[in-house]
C-alpha cells in the first residue's frame, strides 16, 4: 500500500503570495497517477489536478502540479482569497486501497 505524506500540515500565507504544497509517497507512484483536491468547509472535495500535472476542467491556471516518482508538488502561483482551503493528494496503484494524504490546510 502506498502511503502519501503531505507537508506542511498548515501553511500560512497572504493573498498574492505563492503557495507550494508537497506530497511524498513511500514508494514510486505508478504512471504519475497522482491527483490533487481542494476542500472548503462544509463542501465536498473538488478535483484540481490529475495525472500529476493536468488541470481538471474549469480550474484556473494559477494552479499547477508537478512531480514524478515519489515527490509531487501543487503550486498556486498567486493566492486568491477563495484559495484558502484544505488540499489533499490522492493515488491509486495496482490494487486497493485508493489512498489520500492527510491534507494541508492553507490559511491566511
Partner 1 sequence: QVQLQESGPGLVKPSQTLSLTCTVSGGSIDSGAFYWSWIRQHPGKGLEWIGNIYFSGKTQYNPSLESRVTISLDSYKSEFSLKLSSVTAADTAVYYCATYSAYDAAFDYWGQGTLVTVSS
Q: Which residues bind partner 1 (CB under 8 A)?
A: 31, 33, 35, 37, 43-47, 50-51, 54, 56, 88, 90, 92, 96-103
3-class DSSP state of 28: coil
Q: Which of 10/18 has CB closer to partner 1?
A: 10
Q: Cell match 508537478: residue?
A: 66
Per the CB < 8 A criterion, the answer to whether 56 and 47 are in contact is yes
Q: Which of 69/78 has CB closer to partner 1?
A: 69
Burial class (CB in 10 A: 0-12, 13-18, 19+), 66: middle
Which residue from 49, 62, 51, 67 is spatially nearest to 17, judged by alpha carbons? 62
Least distance to partner 1 from the beta carbon of 82, Å? 18
Size of the chain in residues = 108
Least distance to partner 1 from the beta carbon of 65, Å? 11
Least distance to partner 1 from the beta carbon of 87, Å? 11
Least distance to partner 1 from the beta carbon of 2, Å? 12
Q: Which of 29/76 has CB closer to partner 1?
A: 29
Q: Which of 3/15 has CB closer to partner 1?
A: 3
For residues 57 and 50, what is the distance between their CA atoms, to the nearest angstrom?
Answer: 10
Amino acid at each position: 500500500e502506498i502511503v502519501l505524506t503531505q507537508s506542511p500540515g498548515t501553511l500560512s500565507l497572504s493573498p498574492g503570495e505563492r503557495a507550494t504544497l508537497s506530497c511524498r509517497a513511500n514508494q514510486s507512484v505508478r504512471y504519475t497517477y497522482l491527483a490533487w483536491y481542494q476542500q472548503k468547509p462544509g463542501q465536498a472535495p473538488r478535483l484540481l489536478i490529475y495525472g500529476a500535472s493536468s488541470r481538471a476542467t474549469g480550474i484556473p491556471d494559477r494552479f499547477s502540479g508537478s512531480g514524478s516518482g515519489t515527490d509531487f508538488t501543487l503550486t498556486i502561483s498567486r493566492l486568491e482569497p477563495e484559495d484558502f482551503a484544505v488540499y489533499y493528494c490522492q493515488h491509486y496503484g495496482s490494487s486497493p486501497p485508493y489512498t489520500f494524504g492527510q491534507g494541508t490546510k492553507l490559511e491566511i
